Chains A and B, each alone.
Chain A
Amino acid sequence: RKEVEQDPGPFNVPEGATVAFNCTYSNSASQSFFWYRQDCRKEPKLLMSVYSSGNEDGRFTAQLNRASQYISLLIRDSKLSDSATYLCAVNLGSSASKIIFGSGTRLSIRP
């Protein structure tokens, strides 16, 4: 079993739709969690950190479920510019010592 698993997609949704991704992790000792966005042929950029029960930033909401060992990302009122690959990342330690990424979920927003 992979340490961090994501549905690869692609998710193809119309502009204005709400879309949600899940990410599961296998190590119950994982300390912190992140969502990154990666555009084609670019580096990953931090979208949100998820530390406790979740957090919200504008149209984006991240949730953590420690009991079931998954995190989720919800995008409301999706824009064309949201088209990208979304990477889930899990920090296995108490500092930035080893961050494991999922394979990413591709999202395509259509007009």
Chain B
Amino acid sequence: DAGVTQSPTHLIKTRGQQVTLRCSPKSGHDTVSWYQQALGQGPQFIFQYYEEEERQRGNFPDRFSGHQFPNYSSELNVNALLLGDSALYLCASSSPSGPSQETQYFGPGTRLLVL
């Protein structure tokens, strides 16, 4: 049973560039949430996708956008990168039905460094 996978594991970009991060949910899960975790902080909710639609959004600017594909995998896009975007980006998957519907399972994350 494959867990949540993310790619790439590490990424270095420069200010102003654009980046795309990818996530495949755990088998049987159809909901994907994205989080940003800065050093020494807890994960900050960016947005959640379900049925290929953005269902909830946190306090992040429009530079952060996403997409969910019919196979439930998801992408996070960040445009016009800033130094402050350097962080660990975590993807979590869950299922809106079933006994563990609220449990989120995290992928290993993508470490983004913006220079």
Q: Which residues of A contact B (CB under 8 A)?
A: 4, 6, 32, 34, 42-46, 49, 87, 91, 93, 95-104
Contacts and interface: CB of A to CB of B under 8 A. Distances in A.
A42 B111 CA distance: 11
B48 A97 contact: yes
Interface of B: 31, 33, 35, 40-45, 48, 55-56, 58, 90, 94, 96, 101-109
Contacts of A4: 42
Given A43-B107, A96-B31, A101-B42, 12 more contacts: A43-B90, A43-B108, A44-B43, A44-B90, A44-B106, A87-B42, A87-B43, A97-B48, A98-B45, A101-B43, A103-B40, A104-B42
Contacts of B108: 42-43
A99 B101 contact: no
B44 A96 contact: no
Nearest to B44: A101
A100 B45 contact: yes
A98 B106 contact: no
Nearest to A100: B45
